[in-house]
Chains A and B, each alone.
Chain A
Amino acid sequence: MRIYWADLHIHTCLSPCAELDMTPKRIIKRAAAKGLDMIAVTDHNSAGNLSAALGCAEGGAVAVIPGMEITSAEEVHILALFETIDSAAEMQRQLYDGGDFPPDAGHKAFGTEQVIVNVADEILGFEPRLLAGASSKGLEDIIGAVHALGGLAIASHSDRESFSVLSQLGFFPDDAMFDAIEVTGKKPDTLLPAQFPRLHSSDAHSPDMIGRKKTGFMMEAPTFRELAMAIKGEGGRGIRG
């Protein structure tokens, strides 16, 4: 076992607020240059660039965990990490089939295209759904759906001024079923329940942000299963900084 450094919150050019040069290929190159062992690709409410990201990572030094940053009905951001692309795609299907994020050109008001690419950074298409919107599912329902798919649910930037548990819900519900919480250090740690493991990640929207914040995990290998054990503190795995 050793410490693997991970940045588990990175957006690609598919996210409406991310820069267009956040292509999977460049993200992975940058992550490797920053000495990261593992990243998670977490676009807003879409799994559309996961296949390119995992394809780019194949055989390389940086492992990629398929993820998604889901916006709940309360407008709380939840990082959902999965073992496989299929599980992430199923999560997306449940959101879209439930009527969330209908196709709508409204995303253009945000000023950037939502770009779907392939492993070679070539444009495959533009996502017409307003990914900056919110699901009709509440926080608990989304956490439940992520867990039913074997995924990990992490409260994104839980202490931030916007789109966080604290901003949207006023205080952190003790009984929330999160596996971990991402912290930015902007508010006193005492506002967050002690039982949740703390993670640090960059929430990168531009290449220079990748790896600015990271978490060290003591584990056997940079895989989803090992990560889940480390977050839960099982089998001698754990979070080490």
Chain B
Amino acid sequence: MKIAEIADKLGLEVVNEGQWEREAKCCYASDMLSDVLANGGEGCLWITRQSHPNIVAVAAIRGMAGIIITGGKQINPDTIEKAGQEQVMIFSTPKQTCELAGKLYMLLSNEMERG
């Protein structure tokens, strides 16, 4: 499913613009960046509460489709700047991780079950 469609359906707020036309194939939820570096899948939307600038590099290294920061957190300006440089899409939502992950999984379940 296209990122633009997902953002619309989940009411995500755009923090950093990027590749709207890109397809998200899967999602991954984790706040430990070492875990995401090891296991975050290419083309996945990544759900986290972390907003440290390192999230941008981790998403870029893993070729992830974008980052959704949950819990309505204030986002570090350095993170937004890095995301601009790396063209990594970042969204924010006041929803907590579990609720957002559940909704996102429902949207992507066909893609994810196909693997």
Q: Which residues of A contact B (CB under 8 A)?
A: 74-75, 138-140, 166-171, 173
Give 10 CB contacts A-B under 8 Å: A75-B31, A138-B76, A139-B52, A140-B78, A168-B31, A168-B32, A169-B34, A169-B52, A170-B36, A173-B53
Report the Cα distance A166→B36, complex, angstroms: 12
* Chain B interface residues toward A at CB < 8 A: 31-34, 36-37, 50-54, 57-58, 76, 78
The residue of chain B having its C-beta at the shortest distance from the C-beta of A172 within the complex is B54
Complex-state Cα separation, A167 to B57, whole angstroms: 15
CB neighbours of B57 from chain A (8 A): 170-171
- A139 cross-chain contacts in B, Cβ below 8 A: 52
* Residue numbers in A under 8 Å from B34 (CB-CB): 166-170
| Cβ contact of A169, chosen from B54, B76, B78, cutoff 8 A | B54
Query: In this complex, what residue of A is CB-closest to B54?
Result: A169
Chain A residues lying within 8 Å of B54, measured Cβ to Cβ, are 169-171, 173
The interface residues of chain A lying within 8 Å CB-to-CB of B51 are 138
Not counting A168-B31, A171-B57, a sample of 13 additional A-B residue pairs whose C-beta atoms are within 8 angstroms of each other reads A74-B50, A75-B31, A139-B52, A140-B76, A167-B33, A167-B34, A168-B32, A168-B50, A169-B33, A169-B34, A170-B54, A171-B37, A173-B53
The docked-state distance in angstroms from the alpha carbon of A203 to that of B7 is 45
Task: State how many angstroms separate the Cβ of A44 from the closest Cβ of chain B.
Answer: 19
Contacts of B76 in A (CB 8 A): 138, 140
In the bound complex, residues from chain B placing their C-beta under 8 Å from that of A75 are 31
